[in-house]
């Protein structure tokens, strides 16, 4: 018997030479690219620049409490998602996780929430990019008035750029995203450093609780949740990651910790009490009220925001395409949407299918201009609810999944239940807030999504459309991954 | 390994390494697929410790999960070691005839982290 024969598969084992995600560029992405994907989804540099003015308006004194409380909750969500990402490698991210614990109905609901949340975020990123590009020419001047048609051209240009990068394969896209995130974080470090030098010292009063109003702190927590959304972005690259069970949970944890740390650092550097200036004079005056060279600093700030939005579109669109790919491979969508390009091993069909959902709303919002910009905020409200829903359901799925595979512990169950309860409470808070604010479009969006879930479920589960195979198809172990011991009875020693 | 040797090993090495090796042995002996609970019961190890070490072994690809996610099998990195050991045995029998390194003579690739020299 040869050396190979000792590692031959045992007949009858349910392990194939490939799995349901065959066609993807399996196990190739280095940790740096996975981390870049996680960071790009959460946009740490842009969010750190925005947090002081945002919390200054909403919270005032004690703003740091909002960051810490929201960060703690998101850490619980991260710990719960970790229970999945250390066990399941799948391109479907939370959809595949929910499928493991909640079954088809829950998985479908999470998939629809993801489509809504990621689609909105990618569209919003394109709109923001189209706004920041012309501002690079005169960054410290007033916001330029751009013809909506020109803005649409910029949106289309950015969309085409992102599509081209993603269609060239996950490795190239990963390297590009890594470069973008590295540039933004270096620029952020420079900006924060310069700001500290200009102010002369860090304002430790920002860490005081004097004058903090609990109600406003809670409002700040809700605002910070939306800042921390998308920390799970790296999970979409599980199947393509070189070491998915190591890289993905680590990248998600680092992204979450980095978001909280950078937001706290920016609060320390920029005293939130001066937030009122931001709206009147622009971001560069907020960060550098005494600087003489505002245009250069303003250029850096606008560039950070532009690049962060571009990176976010890349990351979120990648998530969206991998979700559609996984749904198609599971039999929830037409099978041809799960096709991959054999040369670059990327789900190009899913990229094409998702393009209208990313570009369409962005074009509509850009053409609508500022007169109906309220629609943008309402759609973002719906996106927030969708994010909370998918987190709450996935956290609920975790203990059920662990119980199913016989690996449940009271500690992991407790963390998952707390995370699910808090995110569910956030849903209630957001819905009430939207209702009180008269933002009925977001609530209507959620109602439409519920109908979509019901219709999809009916079509797939009852009518058997698309040929349902296995909801939540994941990158299951294949023969090349394993060593199966030979039958002890027939085992022979090497000659 | 005798009881005395085992105590000596436990006394000088971190417990987690010893647990990890015991778990690898349990998976190798336990048949094609072993569940975490079976490993925990087999080794009289707490469930939390078993899951934590299994998770680490999966991350490092010494162990993989079965496709239905309920059990564990030895992974590709262990296969690399196994092939090296098997090839070493083959090489030993021809030691006087050949001085070519066993990795080359067996035509096998060394596992990640193992210096072929």
Q: Tell me, letter by letter, the H, E, C secondary structure of A4-57.
A: HHHHCCCCCCCCCCCCCCECECCCCECHHHHHHHHHHHHCHHHHHHHHHHHHHH
- Cα-Cα end-to-end distance for chain A: 7
**This model's pTM is above 0.90:** no
Is residue B27 within 8 Å of residue B58, measured between CB atoms? Answer: no
Q: How many CB pairs under 8 A join A and B?
A: 93
Q: What is the pLDDT of residue A167?
A: 96
Is residue A35 within 8 Å of residue A234, measured between CB atoms? Answer: yes
- Residues A297/A303/A308/A314 CA torsion (nearest 10 deg): -170
Contact A245 B76 (CB under 8 A): no
* pLDDT tens profile B62-105: 999 999 899 999 988 887 787 788 777 776 666 655 544 433 33
Q: What ipTM does this complex have?
A: 0.84
Find, among B55, B64, B60, the residue nearest to B32 by Cα.
B64
Contact B67 A15 (CB under 8 A): yes
**Poorest-pLDDT segment among A254-258, A404-408, A481-485:** A481-485
Of chain A residues 81-110, which have a CB less than 8 A from chain B?
86-88, 100
Q: What is the pLDDT of residue B93?
A: 65
* DSSP H helical ranges for A229-275: 244-269
Q: What is the pLDDT of residue A290?
A: 66
Select the residue of B67, B83, B89 nearest A14 (Cβ to Cβ): B67
* pLDDT tens profile B31-74: 778 999 999 999 999 999 999 999 999 999 999 999 989 999 99
Contact A484 B73 (CB under 8 A): yes
- Residue B75, strand partner residues: A482
* pLDDT tens profile A259-289: 999 999 998 888 644 544 544 556 666 777 6
Other beta carbons within 10 angstroms of residue A146's beta carbon come to 16
Of chain A residues 19-38, which have a CB less than 8 A from chain B?
19
Confidence of residue A172 (pLDDT cuts 50, 70, 90): very high
Q: If you measure CA to CA, which chain B residue comes closest to A13?
A: B32
């Amino acid at each position: 018997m040869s050396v190979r024969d000792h590692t031959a598969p045992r007949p009858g084992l349910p392990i194939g030479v490939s799995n349901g995600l065959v066609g993807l560029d399996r196990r190739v992405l280095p940790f740096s690219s996975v981390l870049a994907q996680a960071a790009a989804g959460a946009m740490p540099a842009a969010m750190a620049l925005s947090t002081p003015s945002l919390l200054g308006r909403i919270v005032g004194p004690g703003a740091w409490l909002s960051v810490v409380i929201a960060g703690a909750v998101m850490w619980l969500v991260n710990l719960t998602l970790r229970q999945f990402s250390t066990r399941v490698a799948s391109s479907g991210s939370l959809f595949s996780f929910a499928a493991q614990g909640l079954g088809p109905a829950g998985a479908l609901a999470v998939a629809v929430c993801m489509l809504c949340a990621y689609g909105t975020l990618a569209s919003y990123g394109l709109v923001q990019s189209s706004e920041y590009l012309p501002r690079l020419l005169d960054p410290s001047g007033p916001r330029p008035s751009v013809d909506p048609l020109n803005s649409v051209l910029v949106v289309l240009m950015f969309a085409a750029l992102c599509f081209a990068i993603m269609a060239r394969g996950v490795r190239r896209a990963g390297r590009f995203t890594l470069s973008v995130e590295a540039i933004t974080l270096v620029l952020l470090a420079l900006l924060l450093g310069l700001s500290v030098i200009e102010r002369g010292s860090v304002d430790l009063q920002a860490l005081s609780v004097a004058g903090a109003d609990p109600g406003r702190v809670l409002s700040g927590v809700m605002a910070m949740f939306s800042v921390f959304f998308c920390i799970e972005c790296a999970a979409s690259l599980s199947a393509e990651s070189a070491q998915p069970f190591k890289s993905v949970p680590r990248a998600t944890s680092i992204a979450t910790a980095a978001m909280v740390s950078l937001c706290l650092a920016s609060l320390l550097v920029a005293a939130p009490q001066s937030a009122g200036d931001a709206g009147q004079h622009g971001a560069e005056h907020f960060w550098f009220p005494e600087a003489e060279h505002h245009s250069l600093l303003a250029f850096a700030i606008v560039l950070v925001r532009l690049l962060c939005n571009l990176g976010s579109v890349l990351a979120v669109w990648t998530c969206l395409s991998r979700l559609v790919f996984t749904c198609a491979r599971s039999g929830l969508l037409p099978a041809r949407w799960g096709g991959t390009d054999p040369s670059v091993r990327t789900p190009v069909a899913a990229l094409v299918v998702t393009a209208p959902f990313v570009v369409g709303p962005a074009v509509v919002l850009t053409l609508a201009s500022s007169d109906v910009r309220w629609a943008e905020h309402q759609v973002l409200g719906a996106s927030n609810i969708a994010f909370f829903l998918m987190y709450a359901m996935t956290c609920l799925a975790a203990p059920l999944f662990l119980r199913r595979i016989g690996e449940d512990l009271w500690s992991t169950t407790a963390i998952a239940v707390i995370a699910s309860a808090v995110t569910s409470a956030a849903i209630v808070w957001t819905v009430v807030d939207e209702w009180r604010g008269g933002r009925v479009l977001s609530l209507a969006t959620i109602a439409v999504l519920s109908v979509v879930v019901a219709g999809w479920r009916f079509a797939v589960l009852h009518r058997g459309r698309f040929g349902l195979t296995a909801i939540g198809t994941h990158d299951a172990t294949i023969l090349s991954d394993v060593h199966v011991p030979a039958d002890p009875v027939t085992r022979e020693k090497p000659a | 390994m005798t009881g005395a040797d085992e105590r000596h090993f436990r006394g000088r090495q971190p417990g987690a390494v010893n647990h990890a090796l015991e778990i690898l042995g349990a998976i190798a002996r336990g048949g094609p697929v072993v569940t975490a609970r079976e490993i925990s019961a087999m080794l009289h190890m707490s469930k939390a410790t078993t899951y934590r070490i299994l998770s680490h072994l999966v991350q490092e690809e010494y162990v993989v999960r079965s496709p239905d996610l309920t059990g564990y099998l030895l992974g590709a990195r262990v296969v690399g070691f196994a092939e090296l050991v098997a090839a070493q045995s083959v090489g030993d029998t021809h030691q006087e005839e050949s001085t070519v390194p066993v990795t080359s003579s067996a035509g096998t690739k060394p596992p990640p982290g193992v210096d072929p020299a």
